[in-house]
Amino acid sequence: MKASKLSIDFGNTNTVVYIQADNGELRVLEMLAISENEALLSANSGDKLISAIPSEVFCCNSSESKIGKQAFIAVQKTHSKEAYQGYGFNFKKDLLSLKDAGTDSDVIEQDLSHKFGREFITRLCFYINKELNDAYENSNELSTISLSVPVSAPLEYRNWLKSQIASCLNAEKIIVLDEATCAAYYYNETLEQGEAILIVDIGGSTTDFSLVEISRTSDGTPCSRILARHGLRLGGADIDLLIADFVLKKNEIDPIDTQSPKTRKKILRMAEKAKKTLTLGSRFVDSDYDSDLAAHISYVITRSDLDLLLKESHISTSLHSFFIECQKLVKESGFSCKDIKHAAFIGGSFMQPFTRDIVQNELIELGLPAPTSKEINGIDIFYAVAIGGIYLSDVKIEGQCLLNSIFLRTGLRQEVNFKLLFAKGDPYPSSSKDFALGKVEESQTHLKFWLAELDSFQDIGSGASYRPITYNGSFYRMPLPASARAGDYRFITRFHIDEDLRVSFTMFDEYEGVNLYCRKEIGNQRGDVTYIEKSSDQPSALSSKEGDGVAHLFSRESILLSDESFGDRKVLALGDVGQQFTSTERVYSNPSNDFERLVESEIIKLSMKGWLITGATVPGTPWKPDHILILANGVIFVIEDKNYTGTWLGSENGPWSCDGRRIMCGTTKGIEDDNPLREVEKSFYAVLRKSEVLGIPQAFGVATVVAPSNSNIDQVTLLKGHKLIKLDALYGLLDWASVRQEQKITEGQIEAPFITTENVRAAFGISG
């Protein structure tokens, strides 16, 4: 017997894998080495134990990563607080956010989340392949793999997850489905033709709402129609935080977000244990000794304590606002609230009685249906999505609508110049209206654009934001024909989005009567610079047929695109293979070793609009930083390179070493420093004092130490992680600071600076 279909429900707290054999049999793929049988979560499931894989990972330095139930056991055996920097759980919440960094540590934390996510999925797929080969004789590919994601998941997360699975498992088809829609189809057998079911899913990181109509096509083929969907980034992890801070306050200890990584993770894991216990019990009591705090922590919390915490927290108010929006969406769907007869709750957070009751009450007060039984059913709560993913793999989904609007960015960052391509609520697949693109000046050689998703999903404590669809926020740059003239709106461009949310574009040269690009996919590239050749499809006549030329359509919007529109973003180049672009000017270059030369070349490759100085002494001081990078928006970076490839040890104010060798730094009063941070900070403040000469009234400064990408810097403990990064994380840091500065410019907090090459040379005494 072989496995035919496989479904993965990758959850924030637990992951479930289901398979369907070629004889139609359905069963959970247990993988006993990494899964746990949760007796508590199996309440009211008869004699069946819920088997789930904890979404936890421990990235070991000396051996392969541990996942599932292995992870916490492995990290505890190390007896090292530094080891907890390689232990991750609740990381899916950060993967879904894909937010522009808002605090000093956000870049590092998001890098960690992607590392944890990659390691978890890689090891999960290893165990899946092993079990399929051992128990199901699967030596070849599966027919279908279904991956479920939250309703609110951004496009970049969907693409990321699909690419990770595709690199590890073989299948004829990999599809990405909404969790709530999968759950709706789990209940398909109990629904009549044309009936709708309302699904509320509260997991570890998100709250999802879906209204799905079960139907069939004229030939009897099953299909489903999505009538309404909405999402909120709020889940069980937010309850864990409330419990953690409650316990710490009772023990007279500072809040969770001020603690070390080891302390945070141990306390949050204990908080999750308390939450699970209080689903059925009335009291949770435990204790633990924390070596970082040198204190015993007493965990005592009752169900009434937790109910009061939830009632007074942002969770209650956020859910109330969320369901009011859901009611509006239902009314707009064409279905009357009173005509919806079916509803179901899924997701582990519904194990918590207060959460279940508050959602039930909200639905009833708004005239929406709620489940008739409040009993916990482990099978439905934990397996519905995974089983529904298999059911749904052969079902045609109709009526899919975009959750967020998608925009074309056509100007400088501070202009906030976005053109709407696809609006929230638009059905897909579909095509945009036509945009007539043209160049600004005769010397311009390329057109550029950047795609962004307006995430109208409301994070706790923040509002809507634009999130790049293109990888790492990169823009696209296309060579212009030599015959192009400034002001000619001749490049007629239409964007397309398919049923899998993949975005492509067609570009037609109206003067030459040829397609320059035909259905070129964008948004899924995974390289610093991607080269895509021009389309070979060049029709001899103008056409308005879908997929051919896109001329002669009347709803055009004319846009001039400048070479300078996105000077601070990496480039994805469409056109001549081997051509690469940069807008960072080398003002002075005097690297003293190969690593400095490598860092300099990597900065240049990032194509950020600015000026780079390598190996120059700051005038009037003895300080000579390895690199000074000044961006056009007023961000100043001072960078020190340290080419040590072993394991680093150090702290904020203590000495640093690598494999027992002291990391050599500058000297102070004839004494060699042993802390690179002191070295970079000396030159950092000297450089910032030059900001007025540069014409930057309010500079955003970042000082950092750069290590080789193959070094191990996890053992260095810093309050502000961005002070030390590996070379391959440099772009993330530079882009984060740039985004922060440009947000201030956009919001009018500061004025956009005017910086010239002459100003840069004058500030640092560099002759032309």
pLDDT in tens, 275-333: 888 887 889 999 988 888 888 999 999 999 999 998 888 888 888 888 998 888 888 87
* Residue 672, in any domain of the structure: yes
Q: Kindly give, in sequence order, each residue whose CB lies less than 8 Å from that of residue 656, ignoring residues fewer than 6 positions away.
A: 648, 649, 650, 662, 663, 674, 675, 676, 716
- Give residue for tokens 């080495």: 33
Range of the domain at 246: 236-313
Q: Taking a C-beta distance cutoff of 8 angstroms, is the pair 107, 101 a contact?
A: yes
* Residue 578, in any domain of the structure: no
Looking at the structure, do residues 413 and 471 belong to the same domain, yes or no?
yes
* Residue 106, in any domain of the structure: yes
Looking at the structure, do residues 499 and 376 belong to the same domain, yes or no?
no
**Domain harbouring 541, CATH code:** 2.60.34
pLDDT in tens, 110-143: 567 778 888 999 999 999 999 988 888 766 679 9
* Residue 768, in any domain of the structure: no
Looking at the structure, do residues 551 and 602 belong to the same domain, yes or no?
no
* Residue 141, in any domain of the structure: yes
Q: Three-class SS of residue 29?
A: coil
- What pLDDT score was predicted for residue 530? 32
* Residue 145, in any domain of the structure: yes
Backbone angles phi, psi at 652, to 5 degrees: -55, -50
What are 630's two structure tokens?
């000044």
Angle between helices 303-312 and 314-332 in degrees, nearest 10:
60
Looking at the structure, do residues 294 and 323 belong to the same domain, yes or no?
no
Closest to 113 in 3D by CA, of 86, 95, 101, 87? 95
The total of other beta-carbon atoms located within 10 Å of residue 461's CB is 8
Q: Taking a C-beta distance cutoff of 8 angstroms, is the pair 518, 538 a contact?
A: no
Q: Three-class SS of residue 100?
A: coil
Q: Kindly give, in sequence order, each residue whose CB lies less than 8 Å from that of residue 175, ignoring residues fewer than 6 positions away.
A: 144, 145, 146, 147, 393, 500
Looking at the structure, do residues 240 and 192 belong to the same domain, yes or no?
no
Query: What is the number of structural domains in the chain?
Result: 4
* Residue 387, in any domain of the structure: yes
Looking at the structure, do residues 62 and 170 belong to the same domain, yes or no?
yes
SS (H, E, C) 323-340: HHHHHHHHHHCCCCHHHC
- What pLDDT score was predicted for residue 174? 92
Looking at the structure, do residues 483 and 595 belong to the same domain, yes or no?
no
Q: 750 in the Ramachandran plot: left (φ > 0), alpha (ψ -120 to 50) or beta? A: beta
Looking at the structure, do residues 243 and 222 belong to the same domain, yes or no?
no
Q: 158 in the Ramachandran plot: left (φ > 0), alpha (ψ -120 to 50) or beta? A: alpha
* Residue 598, in any domain of the structure: yes
Q: Taking a C-beta distance cutoff of 8 angstroms, is the pair 540, 529 a contact?
A: no
CA distance from start to end of the chain: 75
Looking at the structure, do residues 15 and 148 belong to the same domain, yes or no?
yes
**Domain harbouring 308, CATH code:** 3.90.640.10
**Domain endpoint, select from 398, 423, 458:** 398
What are 585's two structure tokens?
């000017």
Looking at the structure, do residues 308 and 217 belong to the same domain, yes or no?
no
**Domain harbouring 24, CATH code:** 3.30.420.40
**Domain endpoint, select from 313, 329, 352:** 313
**Domain endpoint, select from 550, 573, 596:** 573
| Its pTM surpasses 0.85 | no
Looking at the structure, do residues 436 and 515 belong to the same domain, yes or no?
yes
- What pLDDT score was predicted for residue 243? 93
Distance CA 174, CA 460 (A): 32
- What residues in the chain have per-residue pLDDT under 50? 98-109, 413-416, 457-463, 524-554, 565-569, 575-582
- The string of DSSP letters for 126-166 reads HHHHHHHHHHH---S-EEEEEEEE-TT--HHHHHHHHHHHH
Q: Kindly give, in sequence order, each residue whose CB lies less than 8 Å from that of residue 464, ignoring residues fewer than 6 positions away.
A: 454, 455, 456, 457, 458
Looking at the structure, do residues 206 and 78 belong to the same domain, yes or no?
yes
